[in-house]
Amino acid sequence: MGVRGLQGFVGSSCPHVCTAVNFKELAERHRSEHPGCTPTVVVDAMCCLRYWYTPDSWICGGQWREYFSSLREFVKTFTTAGIKLIFFFDGMVEQNKRDEWVKRRLKNNREIARIFHYVKSHKEQPGRNMFFIPSGLAIFTRFALKTLGQETLCSLQEADYEVASYGLQNHCLGILGEDTDYLIYNTCPYFSISELCLESLDTIMLCREKLCQSLGLSLCDLPLLACLLGNDIIPEGMFESFRYKCLSSYTSVRENFDKKGNIILAVADHISKVLHLHQGEKKLEEMLPLGPNRALFYKGVASYILPGQKSPWFFQKPKGVVTLNKQVVSMCTDPDSNQKLLIGTDSEFNLEAPMCTDPDSKQEVLICTDPESTQEASICTHPEIKQDPMDTEPEIKQQVTMVSDPEILKVPLLFSRRNQLRLNFGQVARAHHVQAESYLVYNVLSSGEVECGNSLEDALDRTLPGQAQVYRPVRQRVYSLLLGGSQGDASTCPTVKEWFVYSGNPLRHPDLVRPLQMNIPGGTPSLKLLWLSTEPGIQVRRLDALLACFDLSSLKEELQALESPFQALCCLLIYLFVQVDALCLEDLHAFIAQALCLQEKSTAQLMDLQLDHVDPRAVQLGSLLVRGLTTLVLVNSACGFPWTAADFMPWNLFDGKLFHQKYLQSEKGHAVAVLVEQNRSRLTTFHTLKSIVCKACVKENRPVVSRRHWRAHHSGGRPPIPAPCSFSAKNAKKRLNWEEETKLRF
């Protein structure tokens, strides 16, 4: 993450760049210098997930109640100090960073393999040095923060650019994160989340001005330095020979610095003594060995130039000006503020975006934008959500973020020429995306490309399919709903590019996944009806669409008879047990019992739970269920929000250690009464939920049987599993064939 080698260089070779600060003192100073202005810290949430996840147990699927409490304490501490927090999450992976994304996912695969090897060998969770964040943590952190009343935004590009832009343009107190790119951006101060002491609000500020003094550079040189060293856009090996050439001619090599430190000093020296001599006279490609990587290098440098800024390293004046159509939505955080945020629509006004054009290439790179405009518009948002900032329940006004890069708004929506209304759907999808209310819907509509990172899955265990495979039919039906295939032949819809991590997928290319025909009673409603209609009974149609995505339309009455949050739980369990043959009665007992017991458990009780040992199969089952909950986020948002978010949030339905405890008890053959902790009311509800799931599975010719039944017929203690993974055989004709139909390759 960030600039290669810069974090270590600052820590070991330039410690004076790091200054101890206190947020309370900074906030007081800010209030005195800017009366009436609330000190605001922009938080790069993706950098903070490891810091926020404080529960000791992480391998069982997540301690969600504990995690929620940790977030509440974090928010409360800053709020008490009078500091406002704005949280940004990554909303998509940019194409120029896809290779780096893949590289990290493959590295994670190796780390996960080591985790499972350790669990199998020691029957316990590894130490914190092998920590891997629970599945779905980033997605559900968004909802947790919104529930706590926090302004939570999802980016339309890599979040670091939007974080830096927001901090600069809104005169924020600073940025809280852990990414050396924030040392490169010319924006507000950068604070380290890893050095934060929450109790005192002490942390470290990394000063880019002091870094420049140490390197003999100016602030506008830092983007050039970052690209020559390598970052998420420029591969580290691209300028390796150039860096060593700089090192060989560097006359001030310091013996007390390591090799990487001296390389950074040498490259900085080359910029200050050689490149500066010809700045403004020669183009970069005349001074640097850019070769065929010229366009990528320009793009890398330009990626650090924020709206309203320019770079002196772009010698040639722009050849053209791109005029973009945009619209502005008033920000609703401060009723007395006139600040406006760009979201991009089809209204007309001119926004000039000078482009740096490579004279020998047709590729253009955005280097400067003009964010000013005065137009306003209203936008359709999610119905108001009751949210709880610590102890109260105010209604939260939804907000949108600034689109920092105008090019984002030029992305054509699929089928926009076929159906002009789809542009409106795109605006609605974009609003929900930016407000962190939906998951993947905007990505499908805007680019037809989605991704999902690693889960704790054992690549050596062939008895359980990966979550990417299990939930793919659900996603296919969502694609059909979003892309219009449900109105006719789904095969006429474009395929969706999926970058999903699963065992055996080298991620060299995306899987090309076709939409799958939906069967909804009364016909498939249009997106206009699902998303924009306010007519009576529309929630019924939305629920019909949601259940159809899971192929559970026939079970509507049974599910509606259940209380929240057990509707969502049963929906997932029925789908899983119909879909996956390897799940048995003991698994079902554990899933239901933990959800029932969770309702009356305090956070302290969950923290005190102790496990006899850790079972690798239970680890994967926990991850599988949580990924089902993230799939519900996708389906619910695509269908117009028939369920409230609280219905399927993990802190209301799942606790990793509690599930693990029930799994181990169920495996030992403990009675159901023991699983529900001798509670008569829970026992009654248990049998109700179990009956619904089992009857639904029997209807699909997939009876749920005990593992003891398997063991009586199979010496290996597992059911026979069809390759490549254990999907239920009864659905073979209903689903598209895995290898031949849904996993097409480029």
Shared-domain flag, residues 332 and 448: no
Dihedral, CA of residue 299, residue 303, residue 305 and residue 311, to nearest 10: -20
Is position 159 within any domain?
yes
Q: Report how far residue 482's alpha carbon sits from residue 422's, in angstroms, rounded to the nearest whole number.
A: 10
**Count of the separate structural domains present in the chain:** 2
Is position 398 within any domain?
no
Cis peptide before 383 (omega within 30 of 0): no
Shared-domain flag, residues 191 and 112: yes
Which pLDDT score, from 0 to 100, does residue 403 have? 35
Shared-domain flag, residues 354 and 419: no
Average pLDDT of the segment spanning 502-525: 93
Tell me the CATH number at 10.
Answer: 3.40.50.1010
Q: Is the pLDDT of residue 29 over 80?
A: yes
Least confident stretch, 204-208, 284-288, 441-445: 284-288
Is position 596 within any domain?
yes
Which pLDDT score, from 0 to 100, does residue 488 have? 47
153 beta partners: 88
Compute how many other C-beta atoms are within 10 angstroms of the C-beta atom of residue 661. 22
Shared-domain flag, residues 339 and 442: no
Q: Report how far residue 441's alpha carbon sits from residue 527's, in angstroms, rounded to the nearest whole number.
A: 12
Q: Report how far residue 259's alpha carbon sits from residue 48's, in angstroms, rounded to the nearest whole number.
A: 30
Is position 390 within any domain?
no
Is position 301 within any domain?
yes
Shared-domain flag, residues 502 and 567: yes
Shared-domain flag, residues 498 and 623: yes
Q: Is the pLDDT of residue 107 over 60?
A: yes
pLDDT digits (tens, 9 = 90+) for 725-743: 444 444 444 443 433 333 3
Which pLDDT score, from 0 to 100, does residue 13 have? 82
Shared-domain flag, residues 466 and 351: no
Domain of 719, in residue numbers? 412-742
Is position 97 within any domain?
yes
pLDDT band at 201 (very low <50, low <70, confident <90, very high): very high
Q: Report how far residue 527's alpha carbon sits from residue 480's, in angstroms, rounded to the nearest whole number.
A: 11
Is position 389 within any domain?
no
Shared-domain flag, residues 620 and 701: yes
Question: ∠360-302-499 over CA atoms, to 5°?
Answer: 95
Average pLDDT of the segment spanning 47-64: 97
Which pLDDT score, from 0 to 100, does residue 710 have? 62
Shared-domain flag, residues 439 and 549: yes
Average pLDDT of the segment spanning 499-509: 96
Q: What is the pTM of this model?
A: 0.83
Amino acid at 260: K
Beta sheet of 174-177, edge-to-edge order: 18-22, 202-206, 190-192, 174-177, 40-44, 84-89, 151-154
Is position 373 within any domain?
no
The percent of residues above 70 in pLDDT, for the chain, comes to 78
Shared-domain flag, residues 346 and 433: no
